Structure 1
Amino acid sequence: MEALGSKGSIIIMWDKRSWKGEMVESGNQMITCKLSGINTAVYASCDRNERSELWEELGTMKSFCEEPWVVCGDFNTTRFPSEKTNHTKLSGAMKDFSRCINELELLDPPLFGGSYTWRGGSNHRNASRIDKFMHSFPWDELFNQIRESSLPSLGSDHNPILLSCGDEVFNRSYFKFEKWWLNVEGFKSKVQDWWNSFNVTGRADFKLTTKLSLLKVKLKEWSKENKGNWRARKDQLLEQIGS
């Protein structure tokens, strides 16, 4: 599937073993398609005013979207100065984009495999992350592993990006808080540090839900890293009691 723009195109490919839906075209800027949810492909204008119209159109689309939602493509703008070389200030266009994402209640996952998706100028000195996959919370619940990766560029000034979603989850297990975590020295302060490090803006309920989701990921990673040490300590104590 290809969404055409005035100066380029976006190509979206799904694993044919998983494709179950149909393509629906909406103008020459976006394409939506069904795949256990809704996917919207975007090719945004370089003009800030025209992008503002696109952000409004996406907001209208969200009001009709009751299924898990993924928005992807070339947005022709970045969210933060760190996503663009030689840029240190938060611009109005960046604020517009972040405000749109927060209002749409989309998650912007980190990019693996590189910091930027576009390069241009003399010797490719200019670079930015203007290509993204973003998804709604229900999409996060639909799949057990979501990862956005940058792939090698093949004759283009853009790097292809890949959204890997792992296996579809039909019997998703509940998140479990382990009691032994509380007995690990420094655990509570670590949770506090994680919580304070999450920079999330938007409505209060959206901020809380997003930060809880991010905290859940951190806890799972930390638990996996420390479980072996805790089990070894447990076995050591049992051995002392039995001797």
Structure 2
Amino acid sequence: MSLLSWNCRALGNPKTVQVLVDMVHAKRPNILFLAETFAGTNKLHSVRTKMGYSGLFCVNNDGHSGSLALLWKDGTSVSIQSYSKHHIDAIICLSPDDSEWRFTGYYGVPKRHRRQESWSLLRQLSSRCSLPWVVMGDFNDIMHLNEKRGGNPQPVRLIRGFCEAVEESGLKDFAFEGYQYTWERCKGSPNWVEAKLDRILISDSWGDLFSNARASSITTPKSDHMSLHLQILPPPMPSPRIRHRFENLWLRDAHCWEIMIESWSKSHGQNRPLWKSNLDLG
């Protein structure tokens, strides 16, 4: 079981669609969240068919923002709870015998003067449901100064505002392996900027439910964003108990018998001799 999130920066380009199809075939995510698809419902249904998904929910693009899509595999129960230009919220159940949990695909408001809207949305979503919760997507925010390289430093007020919203929403950052700067601009030039805009947030209860989960970033061409892949691994199988059996054949070897006498004396003391009456030494 796995989830994949990517700000694909427009699916109108056939090469971008092929990158997405190849990535899905390689990682096989049960749930796929896409931001900035710039694609209508008909286009997304065509892409869904190519990737082999049975479910699709999309928020149509409005100008140059808000085009989101959530896709899922057959056998995965997805119940959409709410949506907007900046999120899709759903309750997930992997099978009838599994616990329900909550997934939110998130796309933060890009404009700095409107970041408060993103933080308010996160707080509002946190109050709507108490199920174990995971949030993935492009937040357009960072949590630490060192999560951005190049360009002007991120204003401290924006970092503080985002961190407070995350904490007040009962969420925490979920670390992922791989390259940490998930977005870039003007690569290879003096104006090159990188930042960790894409991330995964989880509640404590989600972390407890999926304690073996792990995540990684994936380099993806045709977009200025990397994708994030979150794997939900099954709990480790308990090691089989090894039973040590005594073999009567050992008693036919005088050296083995001496070892047994010595070991018994060390563990039980000299005053408690090894019982011999029923032993056939041959």
CA contact (8 A) 1:71 1:135 kept: yes
Pairwise CA distance, 1:127: 0.8
Q: 1:10 to 1:146 in 2, by over 3 A?
A: farther
1:20 aligns with 2:104: no
Structure 2 partner of 1:123: 188
- Return the match for 2:131 from 64, 67, 72: 67
Give the TM-score taking structure 2 as reference length. Answer: 0.54
SS at match of 1:148: strand
Q: Distance in 1 between matches of 2:233 and 2:175?
A: 16
Q: Distance in 1 between matches of 2:153 and 2:118?
A: 26
CA contact (8 A) 1:10 1:74 kept: no
Structure 2 partner of 1:225: none
1:166 aligns with 2:230: no
Pairwise CA distance, 1:154: 2.6
In structure 1, what residue type is equivalent to 2:198?
Answer: D
Pairwise CA distance, 1:62: 1.1
1:1-243 to 2 correspondences below 5 Å? 2=34, 6-7=64-65, 9=67, 12=70, 14=72, 16-17=74-75, 19-35=76-92, 36-86=100-150, 91-123=156-188, 125-167=192-234
Can you give the 5+ residue segments of structure 2 that lack an aligned partner in the other structure? 1-32, 36-58, 93-99, 237-262, 268-282
CA contact (8 A) 1:82 1:88 kept: no
Q: Give 1 or 2 for the bigger CA radius of gyration.
A: 2
SS at match of 2:163: helix
Choose between structure 1 and 2 for higher RCO, CA contacts under 8 A separated by at least 6 residues: 2
Give the TM-score taking structure 1 as reference length. Answer: 0.62
Moved more, 3-12 or 139-148: 3-12
Identity of aligned residues (%): 26
In structure 1, what residue type is equivalent to 2:212?
Answer: Q
Q: Distance in 1 between matches of 2:186 and 2:168?
A: 33
CA contact (8 A) 1:31 1:41 kept: yes
Q: Distance in 2 between matches of 1:156 and 1:79?
A: 23
Q: 1:15 to 1:108 in 2, by over 3 A?
A: farther
Pairwise CA distance, 1:47: 2.0
Cα deviations across residues 150-180 of structure 1 (Å, max 9, x unaligned)? 01213111111011121279xxxxxxxxxxx
Pairwise CA distance, 1:132: 0.9
Q: 1:160 to 1:89 in 2, by over 3 A?
A: closer
CA contact (8 A) 2:109 2:115 kept: yes
What is the number of equivalent residue pairs in this alignment? 172
Pairwise CA distance, 1:25: 4.0
Structure 2 partner of 1:235: none
SS at match of 1:140: helix
Richer in helix (by share) = 1
Q: 1:16 to 1:161 in 2, by over 3 A?
A: farther
Q: Distance in 2 between matches of 1:27 and 1:12?
A: 12
Moved more, 147-156 or 115-124: 115-124
Richer in strand (by share) = 2
